[in-house]
Amino acid sequence: MKYFKFLILLIAVKAIVLADVDTLTCVDTTKSAYYMYVYFLNSEEKAGARLAFSTDGINWLKYNDGNAVITPLIGDEGLARDPNIYYDSVNSIFRMVWTCDWLGNEIGYATTKDLVHWSTPQAIHIGSSIPDIEDCWAPEIFYDDIQNKYMIYWSVFVSGVGQRTYYTLTSDFSTFTDPVKFFDPGYTVIDATLFKVADGKYYMFFKDERETSANLKAKNIHYVVGKTPQGGVPDGYTADSVATNWSAVSSAITKIGMEGPTAIKIGDEYRVYFDPFNEYTSTYRMVKSTDLKTWSQGEVLNTIGGNFLYNHGSISMIPRKYVMHLLYNQALDTGMTTDTTVTYPLGKRNVGCGTGVGLAFIPPIGYKIAASRRRRKKILSVKK
């Protein structure tokens, strides 16, 4: 009877733990790679970039309780909007760029080896040579594996012209080629993001920034296809009538009122995540496709306590060791897994879901009770 009560107690404790932890948003420690989302919040655009992690791209765990991991401290306005992180696997370093001012010719740049300790943020004046430039928004880093150089592309507002997309190349993030306009469909566009599907096939998703009216359904996400990161129409595609170095602009793949696209392939699905900028509480934040032609609404994104809500950011895949380091304090050079609860920086606690969610809390309790029973039996046997 005592053992039955003990079993009931363990089941009850496990139920409490499961309810408290929210099993949907734990990190599966058995995975070899993870998805990271870096983002900002419009309501705190000067606070800095935030991180979240997932093993399926649907259920997310916010790092540091959703608080910023780096404060910008550069630019006249000190903004930290539209963050993008590129993992440089050759040098084992993360490189982040972001919008640091509403107006100006610079972007923010910083690096880190562990996503905890960051270099001093600096301003890169990549748009200084563009005539009549007014701003540099939504920069992203992409590795050009054809030229073996890093490519930074971003949205530029040119007086009398509107928003267009420019890029520059660099090998060391110290010297940069002169900026070149590489996407101009003849109307204002922002928030370009590149995604390599295969050799010779690069998709560029972007936001049609024209004002929406009765006859024009803009402010939504489209794409074009190029055979290099800078364009060039692939075989079998028709060139756009204006942006002739790219395929014809696709139909909209999202509803009206979306911006900040970021793309990735998870399993057999291509997914494009985005920011419903005028409806922060909206759960419409992702579309998916298996053929890059037919797109449908994706799943609602979750996190502990509700939906995963964010403003313009980017998704990427990163090696497992960095997530284990952040969430479980494991050294970056170890390959061990964990199924125990560990305090990670800034006091948050997590559970390794892939090794038995909730059970990490239970063994210590069980061992203590069992040990107590053994000690009591031993004492009684001695007395006898």
Question: What is the per-residue DSSP string for 139-207?
Answer: EEEEEETTTTEEEEEEEEEETTTEEEEEEEEESSSSS-PPPEEEE--SS-EEEEEEEEEETTEEEEEEE
Residue 330: the pLDDT is 84
Are 99 and 84 in contact, with CB atoms under 8 Å apart? no
Residue 361: the pLDDT is 24
Q: What's the CA gap between 307 and 55, in Å, rounded? A: 16
> At 379, which helix (H) or strand (E)?
helix 362-383
What the chain holds in terms of domains, given with CATH numbers, is 32-336 (2.115.10.20)
Residue 27: the pLDDT is 60
> At 321, which helix (H) or strand (E)?
helix 320-328
Are 289 and 313 in contact, with CB atoms under 8 Å apart? no
Q: Give the tokens for residue 99.
A: 């919008």
Residue 253: the pLDDT is 98
Question: What string of pLDDT tens digits covers the 384 residues of the chain?
Answer: 555 454 444 444 444 333 333 334 456 667 777 999 999 999 998 889 999 999 999 999 999 989 999 988 888 888 999 999 999 999 999 999 999 999 999 999 999 999 999 999 999 999 999 999 999 999 999 999 999 999 999 999 999 899 999 999 999 999 999 999 999 999 999 999 999 999 999 999 999 999 887 678 889 999 999 999 999 999 999 999 999 999 999 999 999 999 999 999 999 999 999 999 999 999 999 999 999 999 999 999 999 989 999 999 999 999 999 998 888 888 887 444 443 333 333 323 333 333 222 222 222 333 233 334 444 444 444 344
Are 84 and 139 in contact, with CB atoms under 8 Å apart? yes
Residue 1: the pLDDT is 57
The single-letter code of the amino acid at 255 is K
SS3 content of the chain, % helix, strand, coil (to 5): 15, 40, 45
Q: Is 7 strand, coil or helix?
A: helix
What's the pTM?
Answer: 0.82
Residue 110: the pLDDT is 96
